Structure 1
Amino acid sequence: MDDTADSVETARARPRPLRRNRLDDELRLFRDRLTHGTTHKPEFEYELLTMFARNETSAPFAMPALCFIFYIASMFWASFMEATMWIAIVSISRVYMLDQCRRLLSIPRADVNVGQWRRHFIRIETINGLALAAFALIGISMAPPAHSVPATFSSHVFIFATLMVVLAIRMTFSSTLPHVFLAGTVPMTLAVTGRLFMLGDPFYFALASMAVGIHVFFVYLAQGLHSTALAMVEYRAEKDSLISELEEASAISDEARRRAEAANKAKSRFLATMSHELRTPLNAIMGFSEVMEKEILGPIGSDVYREYARNIYVSGNHLLCIINEILDLSRIEAGRYDLHEETIRLTDIAEDCERLIKIKADAKTLQIVEDFAPDLPHVWADPRAMRQICLNLLSNALKFTPRGGRITLTVGHTSDGGQFITIADTGPGIPNEEIPRVLQAFGQGSLAHETAEGGTGLGLPIVQNLITLHGGTFDLQSELRKGTEVTVTLPRQRVLQIITPLQPLGQERHRDPAPRPARQPRMRPASPYGTAAPYRVSGGA
């Protein structure tokens, strides 16, 4: 009762379209089974039918050759006429069976009625079974002479052995169709059993009982082989279904990717167009509002108007920053952000960015702590990108750190020879489950969103993409209510080292021992990195 209630609840909870599709499939399958007269799926029955036909045609001379051996052996206890008629009937039935199997394999699958062909093969195999059963009956009317008892015993044992061989062969060939196997073997088993029982000897009674038991055993084996063949066909159908589903999913994903690429191109064109259309009036708005705020062309006459002009300038500047961030992220995602690399010092970049936010930090009474490693070598990087990375991280720390907090700016070298910049704050922190969302475009943490000054959520994605373009790594560690620490690392291949001279200056080799006037040491050509001695990338890169 409980199971019924559960099934009813499950059926009610299942969406109507899903239930309707499932009922349609079951109804279609039931209709196919009734039409074809099968207990399995029609496609499985067709596969089993064709497997039987292929088994028969794969060895067309095996059964006729075996029957010819039986024909030669039957000459010892049967007349020539009976044996010849038997071999003729068996040969005709076998040829007809092979012909029908080849005909089935030549017909298109859509034109095959599985039920009719299965019944047709059962009828043909029944004729074959009756023909084989006649082997046990030929010569039965001939009374053997008294001195031929050993020959008679040998003939009966040979007939019993013949039954075993026929059962084994027919089980191998027709195990995919159990009814065909029964139609081809039951008549011969009955004939052999009847002949042995007619002899009235206990030994032959035991032999007849053994024949029945062996036939039952072969039927059991045939059922097992049929189950194995059916499982193999089902697994193959499932494999084909999975392959078709994978191909369909692949086609759908290719189409979705094509549409996404087209949408991305359209987005890039739209942003490129809108950037020009928005920046032009923004420049005018910001310029005129700044002129009005500073009263360059004359006094405004009202402090309220001056405050309005200041608000217009600040809002326009904020909108311009948002547009620039969106365009930068779009160029990075589209693969159109080109790095203009040169030799720079990360400490210089960090100091410049710290000076830019110093005024805002003092307004919030924030303490900025600098921790720079001494004598850091130059790195090969894009100064604008590195400045944007450092400024974005410092701006985030400035926005999310409460008054009286502390921001730590660290620049140093890693254990493998690279260099890193770390910005740590004492802000509200980010829950671990929200970190993936924060690293997505326009994503912000819940607690930070409530306490921060506002933002677009593009700073960290831009930082992550820019450092990836440099071949570096991005790492964000945060603990709720304690703060956040972000580290960007440049690989060792971007750190430059000074090439030492091959020999000390003033100690050059001379070709002749004669003294020559001292000459001025020749300096190497100026490095494209702006230093007297050339640099090389550590690690040979």
Structure 2
Amino acid sequence: MTMSAIPEEVARRRSREYARTRASNDLRETRARLAAGTSLKPEFEYELLTMFVRNELGAAVTMPALYALFALACMFWAPTVDAVIWLVIVIAAKVVLLDQGRRFLLAPPSQVNVRAWRRRFVIAELFSGLALACFALVGVRETLGASTEMIFSSHVFIFATLIVVLAIRTMFAASIPSILYAGTVPMTIAVVARLLLLDNSFYFALATMAVGIYLYFLFLARGLRSTALSMLEYRTEKDALIAELEEQKSVSDDARRRAETANTAKSKFLATMSHELRTPLNAILGFSEVMKSEMFGPIENPKYQEYVGNILESGKHLLHLINEILDLTRIESGRYELHEEPLRLADVIDECHRLLKLRADAKGIEVSEEASAELPVVWADQRAMRQICLNLMSNALKFTPKGGRIVLSVGATPDGGQFLSVRDTGPGIPADEIPKVLQAFGQGTLAHQTAEGGAGLGLAIVQNLIELHGGSLDLQSELRKGTDAKVVLPGFRVLRAMVPLQPLGQETHRARGTSPRPARQARLRARGGRDGGSDAAAPG
């Protein structure tokens, strides 16, 4: 298995494990929904119950205080004993509900039976609703024989109390309809029945309005429940997305560790193999050179001489390939150190021209240079820049046919940097193959058919070396017209001469508005007068 296939295989395995886990969770949730008798997810049911309980516990003080105000208000038309009894009953029902809520929150979520707890809260809320409904019965006998104004005031207050209770219970229990019904239906029925007993069109209208208001609050509770469910769904999706991202991060980290391990193993392997290959390769090159030069006597068979030449050329090619692989490995592993110094790119292309001149002449290729002597020096690694130029020029020599032309040029870029360019008149590279040839071991189809031997590492090394300098490689090519490979050094690599500072004495005299020359003559005359050697002291 190749190094690139390792992360893909890990990702596939993780994906299969994640799919199995998700399917198992979905099956478990379906079984729980069937057992709970509801279409909601079990965690949603638990969250809705939790919202209801927290709302009740949050109003543990305010609601009894509100009930106390109701009791005080009804003392204006009802006996005090009835109001106090009603207050005790409703607070007792509230205490039971709050106690069940505290027990629910203390229980571990994994051990909570949602269906059983929902039934408990419905019973507790029904008890509380019946206690609230008794408010409509407080002072019934006393109001029947009271004045019209007292009857009107008491019943309007009871109607307003119903609206307040419906609003509060809708806010608290809208997430669970069964609890909402248990807490609001008894009081609504009691208030409507009391209003209808008066046998008056006005109170009949109030009763009708009470029913309408109750239906409106049920509709409002339905909207609040939908909002709560949407919020829970969004939160669940967010949690699932976060979990999936964590899973993918774990997969990515695992793949990265495997890739780093494989890269370390590759580097160790190449370092070991370079030593193991170079040792016998040096012997092959040395002995083949001795045999080719016939140092210990002539080789009479010409075939043997040809074979020795082939062995020597193959050995040199193999050594060059090993060196390229090791250079690329050092660069990619970050162990390639730049030894920077001032240099001229024109000197670099001139040196590379001289090194490859014999090879160019052997193929009948014309090589010319285009460089300006006025270009400033650059701060770069001389060995790296020489290798860049040699690799680009070697590629041009490989692909340029006999009688072609290669131009080595150096110039300035618009942003203040400098470039080194190698242009040839070779077969060119198709535009869709340029990204491929810039990769390690990448070769174009047309170039592979017409070129000499090579491993496809030259341009990859060039690109990595110029990027170490903060520059870039720009490869422009057109079929049957040639290729232009240009490396660009950024502006901060160019060393520019500083403007000379003006002498301090001249700045002083210029500041005073005098010329330095008369001042110097005055000092010389004064010195001559003291020494007795001036013309003024000579006799007339």
**TM-score, normalised by the number of residues in structure 2:** 0.86
List alignment gaps of at least 5 residues for structure 1.
1-14, 517-541
Q: Which moved more, 1:180-189 or 1:36-45?
A: 36-45
Task: Check conservation: 2:281, 2:315, Cα contact below 8 A.
Answer: yes
Q: How far apart, in 1, do the equivalents of 2:44 and 2:479 lie?
A: 61
Q: Which moved more, 1:300-309 or 1:439-448?
A: 439-448
When residues 164 and 450 of structure 1 are mapped into structure 2, their CA distance, relative to the original with a 3 A threshold, is farther
Residue in structure 2 matched with residue 247 of structure 1 by the alignment: 246
Residue in structure 2 matched with residue 455 of structure 1 by the alignment: 454
Q: Does 1:99 align with 2:99?
A: yes
Superposition map of 1:90-489 within 5 A: 90-142=90-142, 144-145=144-145, 148-489=147-488
How far the C-alpha of 1:364 sits from its partner, in A, is: 3.5
Q: How far apart, in 1, do the equivalents of 2:143 and 2:498 lie?
A: 117
Q: For residues 61-84 of structure 1, what are the alpha-carbon distances to aligned partners after superposition, in whole Å with 9 as ceiling and x for unaligned? A: 222111111112222333333322
Task: Check conservation: 1:373, 1:413, Cα contact below 8 A.
Answer: no
When residues 143 and 375 of structure 1 are mapped into structure 2, their CA distance, relative to the original with a 3 A threshold, is closer
Residue in structure 1 matched with residue 60 of structure 2 by the alignment: 60
How far the C-alpha of 1:157 sits from its partner, in A, is: 0.9
Cα RMSD of the aligned pairs, angstroms, is: 2.7
Question: Sequence identity, in percent?
Answer: 62
Which residue identity does 2:119 align to in structure 1? Answer: R
Which residue identity does 1:87 align to in structure 2? Answer: L
| Alignment: residue pair count | 499
How far the C-alpha of 1:20 sits from its partner, in A, is: 7.0
Residue in structure 1 matched with residue 42 of structure 2 by the alignment: 42
How far the C-alpha of 1:321 sits from its partner, in A, is: 0.8
Which residue identity does 1:64 align to in structure 2? Answer: P
Q: How far apart, in 1, do the equivalents of 2:490 and 2:19 lie?
A: 57
Q: How far apart, in 2, do the equivalents of 1:18 and 1:514 lie?
A: 98
When residues 483 and 203 of structure 1 are mapped into structure 2, their CA distance, relative to the original with a 3 A threshold, is farther
When residues 237 and 161 of structure 1 are mapped into structure 2, their CA distance, relative to the original with a 3 A threshold, is same
Which residue identity does 2:407 align to in structure 1? Answer: T
Q: How far apart, in 2, do the equivalents of 1:20 and 1:248 lie?
A: 14
How far the C-alpha of 1:161 sits from its partner, in A, is: 0.6
Q: For residues 83-133 of structure 1, what are the alpha-carbon distances to aligned partners after superposition, in whole Å with 9 as ceiling and x for unaligned? A: 222212111000111111111111111111111111110111111111111
Q: Which moved more, 1:399-408 or 1:156-165?
A: 399-408
Q: For residues 469-516 of structure 1, what are the alpha-carbon distances to aligned partners after superposition, in whole Å with 9 as ceiling and x for unaligned? A: 222222222334433222112223332344566579xx9999x95699
Residue in structure 1 matched with residue 74 of structure 2 by the alignment: 74
When residues 467 and 78 of structure 1 are mapped into structure 2, their CA distance, relative to the original with a 3 A threshold, is same
Q: Which moved more, 1:76-85 or 1:225-234?
A: 76-85
Question: SS in structure 2 opposite 1:76?
Answer: coil
Q: For residues 189-216 of structure 1, what are the alpha-carbon distances to aligned partners after superposition, in whole Å with 9 as ceiling and x for unaligned? A: 1111122222222222221111111111
**TM-score, normalised by the number of residues in structure 1:** 0.85
When residues 222 and 362 of structure 1 are mapped into structure 2, their CA distance, relative to the original with a 3 A threshold, is same
How far the C-alpha of 1:142 sits from its partner, in A, is: 4.0
Question: SS in structure 2 opposite 1:496?
Answer: coil
When residues 129 and 479 of structure 1 are mapped into structure 2, their CA distance, relative to the original with a 3 A threshold, is farther
Q: How far apart, in 2, do the equivalents of 1:461 and 1:397 lie?
A: 15
Residue in structure 2 matched with residue 86 of structure 1 by the alignment: 86
Which residue identity does 1:247 align to in structure 2? Answer: E
How far the C-alpha of 1:162 sits from its partner, in A, is: 0.6
Task: Check conservation: 2:125, 2:183, Cα contact below 8 A.
Answer: yes
Question: SS in structure 1 opposite 2:368?
Answer: strand
When residues 449 and 183 of structure 1 are mapped into structure 2, their CA distance, relative to the original with a 3 A threshold, is farther
Which residue identity does 1:135 align to in structure 2? Answer: F
